[in-house]
Amino acid sequence: MLNPVIDTDGAPFWEYAARGELRVQACADCGEARFPPRPCCPHCQSFASEWRPVSGRGRVWSYVVPHPPLLPDYAEQAPYNVVVVELEELPRIRLVGNLVSRAGAPLGSLDPQRVRIGARVQVVFCDGLPQWVLS
Amino acid sequence: MAGPGLKDATAIVGIGQTAFARHLPEDEKTLACRAVLAALDDAGIAPGEVDALASYTMEETDEVELAKAVGFGDLTYFSKVGYGGGGSCATVAHLAAAIAAGQATVGVAWRSRKRGSGPRPWRNTAAQLPTPAQWTRPFGLLRPADEIAMLTRRYMHEYGATRDHLFNVALACRNRANQNPAAVMHERPLTREMYMTSRWISEPLCLFDNCLETDGALACVVVSRERARDCRRTPVYVHSAAQGLPAQHHGMVNYWNDDPLTGPAWTAARHLWKHADFTPEDVDVAQIYDAFTALVPLSLEGYGFCGRGEGGAFTEQGALEIGGRLPVNTGGGGLSEAYVHGFNLLNEGVRQLRGSSTAQVPGAATCLVTAGEGVPTSALLLRS
């Protein structure tokens, strides 16, 4: 499986994720949240940022079900879902992830028929990687 | 507005291409040389007169190698455009701007690619951009098809577009390829049943929603309006040209702005039409970038052929076929002629305005050519 290739801007996200916390970068001056993380705020150009905790609740914005040819580790689990989740408090912040049957379950663990746009989901963590389960 | 601008200041006077196939024995550099020399021969211009080049950042044959091999003269302008298939029309736009501004006189744009027999780029996990490598790849969103399928699903959900609409796109391209002996899918008809029962690549996109994987190369030659009158072929004028990178856009994975379903096409279109003497209603034929079927309804909306959310419905009743409201991809496009990062759409646009297409739209005098939607893009309005 591919581990996240972490850059400077993204490092805090993964440090919080490793502790089981979902946080989003926000401007420390004007308060606007932004994703993916970046050095300065596109609204007010401030370089001051903070990492704001969120509830981890959200809704499925869209999803796909990839089929092979895929990289071998993913082909073994296919077909699986990949979802984009919009966060409850910050619907413009959307995270790519997988909807699974329980924390730590494989990518293909949930019947694709159960994935729907609009479905309410909750973040869980497995080895520092966020996953999503149906609420 | 200052100055005369680009409008009809330059023309495409030569086009060239190699054969298209899943596998061609020659390497990319050789294919590039063949396409460039064919385009210059078509124009009746000697290689030594070329002084400007434009290509894609993903092009692997660099200017030095190409210039040495085919015998270009002294080059005074060379440019490369990023974002894969988003750069196709921009190569011609850059040459047009350079020639109109007096920086060069004879420009060649080209693309040579062995995407058919070479490796699939997404398989390379060692060389990845920060966003996919960090925010999407670990979750198994691995390929361009997966990334665009995500937007496609949302598009279908918001607007009620259907798989039949996507099939209409695939069918129009296939029908035109069936008329084009140079197309990879010549003499290989497509039916609705084949489409609906084909294997999934990334739901909701099936096999026939995806472009071909092709080896091949193409090129074209751009000169000033004045010079064009002396060339061998009827000039095809670059009437308007635009690039488009919208505010807060994210290439391929445009999930992170306020309105992910209005992409770069909208930005390019605003500039394109602002500088044009005609409107979408006056376009006789369009060559719309089709790495995936879903990019066509999005582009139809973006370039103003219909309203937002109406791109799917626009494809109904044979609208994209010859004789329909807007015939598209008349050589077969990336879906059924060849996928060479959209350059075949440029050359087919030129053929239509010369009256020499294998699926000629009678009396075609205006053509829109677009580059990839979903990435920082570009577009041209051509006229005869």
Please report which confidence band the pLDDT of residue B1 belongs to, taking 50, 70 and 90 as the band edges. very low
The residue behind tokens 């739901």 is B203
Please report which confidence band the pLDDT of residue B2 belongs to, taking 50, 70 and 90 as the band edges. very low
For B133, nearest residue in chain A (alpha carbons): A5
pLDDT tens by residue, B278-334: 999 999 999 999 999 999 999 999 999 999 999 999 999 999 999 999 999 999 999
Is residue A9 over pLDDT 80?
A: yes
pLDDT tens by residue, B214-231: 999 999 999 999 999 999
Token duo for residue B284: 């006789």
Please report which confidence band the pLDDT of residue B3 belongs to, taking 50, 70 and 90 as the band edges. low
Q: Give B82-99 as a DSSP string.
A: -SGGGGHHHHHHHHHHHH
pLDDT tens by residue, A43-72: 999 999 999 999 999 999 999 999 999 999
Measured CA to CA, the distance from residue B31 to residue B61 in angstroms comes to: 10
Given a contact cutoff of 8 angstroms between Cβ atoms, the answer to whether A119 and A8 are in contact is no
Annotated active-site residue B255? The verdict is no
Q: Please list every residue in chain A whose beta carbon sits closer than 8 Å to the beta carbon of residue B201.
A: 66-67
Quick one: pLDDT at residue B129? 79
CB pairs under 8 A between A and B: 111
Domain ranges of chain B: 10-118+212-383
Based on the number of CB atoms within 10 Å of its own CB, is B61 exposed (0-12), middle (13-18) or buried (19 or more)? buried
Note the ipTM here. Answer: 0.98
Fold of B10-118+212-383: Peroxisomal Thiolase; Chain A, domain 1 (3.40.47)
Is the pTM higher than 0.80?
Answer: yes
CB distance B149–A80 less than 8 Å?
Answer: no
Q: Please list every residue in chain B whose beta carbon sits closer than 8 Å to the beta carbon of residue A70.
A: 140, 142-143
What's the mean pLDDT in B161-177?
Answer: 98
Measured CA to CA, the distance from residue A39 to residue A9 in angstroms comes to: 7
Domain ranges of chain A: 11-134
CB distance A61–B131 less than 8 Å?
Answer: no
Across chain B, mean pLDDT equals 96
Measured CA to CA, the distance from residue A40 to residue A42 in angstroms comes to: 6
Annotated active-site residue B339? The verdict is yes
Nearest to B199 among A2, A67, A71 (CB): A67
The residue behind tokens 């598009």 is B155
Given a contact cutoff of 8 angstroms between Cβ atoms, the answer to whether A134 and A120 are in contact is yes
Measured CA to CA, the distance from residue B80 to residue B139 in angstroms comes to: 32
Q: Does any CB of chain A come closer than 8 Å to the CB of residue B258? A: yes
What's the mean pLDDT in B34-44?
Answer: 98
